Amino acid sequence: MMQRRIGSMLGAMALVAACSPTPTPPADTGVNTDGSVTDTGVGGDSSMMMGEAGACNEFGAIVTPVRNMDMGCEGFQAQPCDPSNTEFCPRFRNNDTMRPKFVLTQIDIQTPASLLASQPVGRLLNTSIRNAAFAWGVDLDFSMMRIRTGTIRQPVNRVFGTGYLGQDMQFVMGGAPGMGGADRWNPVTAPIAEAGGLVGMPAGMTVPLITIPVYDEMDRSMLLTELPLRDARISDLRLTANRNCIGTAKPAFDSCAANTTRWNTSSGDGMMATPYGILEAKLTFEDTLNVQVVSLNMPLCNIIARSPCRDAAMMPVNPMSLTIPPDSTVMVGGMAKPAWTLRAFIAGAAVNITN
């Protein structure tokens, strides 16, 4: 099988010890019981957003456009006007509350353990998300009670003052290159339920496959590889009051900062953490064997398993002999395939997805 190539961003799945003033903010508001988390933001066009230097805008945020020439990034810095706010919702769009749309802004992997932030590749994925090289959209329709989610078309251009969050985006609809079907990157649709302030796919409901392509971090028109997430499920989404964010940003927020942990994907610490959104999927032994992490010159399988997934003759080893063997199986083509369970906390910000 032809090996797919992946840039330094893939396999980089970071666990953030995210914190907020209280362990369990009220459901679906993103507001702490002491009122310290507010749904403030930087909405509107760049002229309305920027306003007078150092002044609070209409959403209660102080916003300054920035350029980080070292990273080739144009974006913004934002902080809440009220210094008591330790989290807030930076945005350039006001979502339709019945049809909120988001782009994922952070993915903090909880399992497999070999993809945590302490590992060599554990700090890289969110850098590519920040640069829109790994762009994943979420479209919630509360009138139809369904979710549509999938790949955002590249390139997503960054504009001075708004970064890429202010730009119109589109789901990929056909045109995926190579073998596997031109529609394999298309968004997938599933029902959602809302209960106790949490939004997501019902218990036991999964989609067979979400395929997300990964682009070169420096040239976001250059496809590196694609990552198949099997038996995927998005659940437990806690939306801020006006449904403009999933999770909250950490002040002072900087869309061009080198720090990749700019969002809170959960409230509370450690075992007491309450996620703002959960992504679950299966990474099969076979799929990860054919995803090459170029920066480490090894397949993603080796990183997850912490041992070689091929023998000296370059044949796949017995996956149950690995240092960290697969912990599950998933049905692919009528056969049970060994797989690792992926579980991540996620955050997202309002964007305009036009299709």
- pLDDT tens, position by position, 103-128: 998 888 888 888 765 555 545 566 66
96 assigned to some structural domain: yes
264 assigned to some structural domain: yes
Residue type, 173: M
Residue 285 CA to residue 326 CA, distance in Å, equals: 7
- pLDDT tens, position by position, 125-144: 666 666 666 789 999 999 99
Phi and psi dihedrals of 294, rounded to 5? -65, -40
Residue 65 CA to residue 53 CA, distance in Å, equals: 10
- DSSP letters, 19-70, are --SSSSPPTTT---TTS-B------S-HHHHH-STT-B-TTSEEEEEEEETT
323 assigned to some structural domain: no
23-26 CB contacts, 8 Å cutoff, 24+ apart: 23/267, 23/268, 23/269, 23/272, 23/273, 23/274, 24/267, 24/268, 24/274, 25/238, 25/267, 25/274, 26/197
Which structural domain, as residue segments, surrounds residue 51?
4-285+340-353
Q: 31-35, 169-173, 230-234 — which is least confidently predicted?
A: 31-35
- DSSP letters, 209-254, are EEEEEEE-SS-TTSEEEEEEEEEEEEE-B-B-TTS-EESEEPSSEE
Stretch 6-11: mean pLDDT: 39
Q: 34-38, 137-141, 168-172 — which is least confidently predicted?
A: 34-38
256 assigned to some structural domain: yes
133 assigned to some structural domain: yes
Question: Using the 8-state DSSP alphabet, how is residue 114 labeled?
Answer: G
331 assigned to some structural domain: no
Q: 33-47, 144-158, 196-210, 240-254 — which is least confidently predicted?
A: 33-47
For the entire predicted model, the pTM comes to 0.81
Cβ–Cβ < 8 Å for 222, 212? no
Stretch 69-96: mean pLDDT: 79
Domain count, the chain: 1
User: How confident is residue 47, by pLDDT bands cut at 50, 70 and 90?
Assistant: very low
Cβ–Cβ < 8 Å for 196, 203? no
Stretch 4-33: mean pLDDT: 33
- DSSP letters, 253-271, are EETT-S-S--EESEESSGG
25 assigned to some structural domain: yes
71 assigned to some structural domain: yes
